Amino acid sequence: MATMTLDLHPIFRSNRDIDLAMRQFLLRAANAGVPVAEIIPGKGTGRLKARVLSFLDQKHIKKLYVRRESDPGNAGRVRVYFTA
């Protein structure tokens, strides 16, 4: 199973960069036809993960994917599923 991964560690301090990176990543993943994409906010305090989940729950972003879930085996990873 092919997956794409976006690691937010290098840009976690810039809100604009985070939003832009996630938007571009999701569009790329949806257009590439991959079944699963992973966004890695890291474990930390959970603030970045909450931001990622909030971003994914926006109405216009939800149209890009089928479902999202926090990885049960790794709290620092969010999986986004697309129709393949």
Show me where the domains of the chain are located: 3-81
pLDDT digits (tens, 9 = 90+) for 29-76: 999 989 999 999 988 888 899 999 999 999 999 999 999 999 888 889
Contacts of 14 (CB under 8 A, 6+ apart): none
Residues sharing a CB contact under 8 Å with residue 36, sequence separation 6 or more, in sequence order = 1, 3, 79, 80, 81, 82
Could you tell me if 79 and 38 are in contact, meaning their C-beta atoms sit under 8 angstroms apart? yes
What is the pTM (predicted TM-score) of this model?
0.89
- Per CATH, which fold does 3-81 belong to? Ribosomal Protein S8; Chain: A, domain 1 (3.30.1370)
pLDDT-derived band at 3 (thresholds 50, 70, 90) equals: confident
